[in-house]
Amino acid sequence: MEAFIYDLFNEDVLFTAAERFQIEQSSLEKVSTSESFIYSGICQGKEIILRITHSSHRSVIEIEGEMEWIAHLISQGVPASRPVLSVHSNVIEEIPTKEGQFFVTVFEKAPGRHPNIHDWKRDFFIEWGRTTGAMHKAAVLFDYTTKRPMWQNEYNITAIHTYGEPDLIEVQRQLICDLEALPKDESVYGIIHSDFEDGNFFIHHGTIHPFDFDECQYHWFAYDIGNAVRAASWFVADTNPVYTVEEFLNDFLEGYYSEYHLDFHWIEKLPTFIRLRDLCIYVYLIGKRDHDMSEWEKRFLASMKEEIRAKKPCVQINFSHIRRY
């Protein structure tokens, strides 16, 4: 978040938000301050997650679209975290400030916990894929809405022009042109989570419970799969037994295809979608570089930039080792 948002946020905003949803003030604990102010707490005896989002990040219309998408997922049997109604029977409450507004939303806390390295095994990979496939199956049945952004209008796509890196802007332009040439029929393109990595779900008795739909947008379904492969690539080498990226993808797709079918042609395009994700992550990180960065972070950012410039995805996949379904 930009510095001015931190200046606008204070205890009065937090406690007003809590009061609107009958959250016990003494129960509030800060969870994160990445794109919104996130707190855990207790509401009428139940664990909840409180999210306070500035209007510079999301409009009320966009948040309404997110709430509608979550409600649809729940109606289709996806165990997403359910929104909680305020004392005014609203899913969104507004708190005005001297610069814009804060929008307040509250969700039931998902059961379970984040996966740890001991969970990174075949059954978990299958369930991750199955849950992704279930969301894509639900997307096909979701009525189109203009309330959520198209992928090319998301912040981490448009913001690259803010940072004045002409070589990367040209790489992005070419990548967008390549993607825009792809078909967008409803069987391959629709509303997706777009950030469905292990930090954005809990696992409980073997079932994955997704949350944090702040980045849901219209995109190709393959982008969600590419994100999972990219996220898994950081961990599979440390699992016991050790997994390869290809083994992870095979297990993930076994679960995915149990819920939804995507032609193998789209699986072969994963490197392109991973390149897009690399670019989005890079733009996100350089937006944070006004904060103190460690030497490791500086080297990591420089390495990312070189791979993006070379049009090389951060994950290499040997598709001859991937099963077709």
pLDDT tens digit sequence for 68-86: 999 999 999 999 999 999 9
In the chain, which stretches have pLDDT less than 50? none
State residue 9's pLDDT score: 97
Ramachandran category for residue 22: left, alpha or beta (phi over 0 → left; psi -120 to 50 → alpha): left
Fold of 117-321: Aminoglycoside 3'-phosphotransferase; Chain: A, domain 2 (3.90.1200)
The pLDDT value given to residue 154: 82
Rounded to an integer, what distance in angstroms lies between the CA atom of residue 314 and that of residue 271?
9
- pLDDT for the residue numbered 292: 66
Closest CA to 289 of 191, 165, 104: 165
Stated pTM of the model: 0.95
DSSP state string for 242-285: ---HHHHHHHHHHHHHTT----HHHHTTHHHHHHHHHHHHHHHH
Q: Which two tokens stand for residue 56?
A: 């510079």
Q: What does the pLDDT read at residue 122?
A: 95
For residue 245, how far is the Cα from the chain centroid? 20
Long-range contacts of 244-247 (CB under 8 A, 24+ apart): 244/321, 245/315, 245/316, 245/317, 246/317, 246/318, 246/321, 246/322
* CATH number 3.30.200.20 is the correct assignment for the domain at 3-108: yes
224/219 Cα distance (integer angstroms): 9
pLDDT of res. 289: 57
Q: Looking at residue 288, what is its pLDDT? A: 67
pLDDT at position 93, please?
98
In terms of Cα–Cα distance, which of 14, 9, 16, 108 is closest to 55? 9
Domain spans of the chain, in order of start: 3-108, 117-321
| Backbone dihedral angles phi then psi of residue 36, each to the nearest 5 degrees | -145, 170
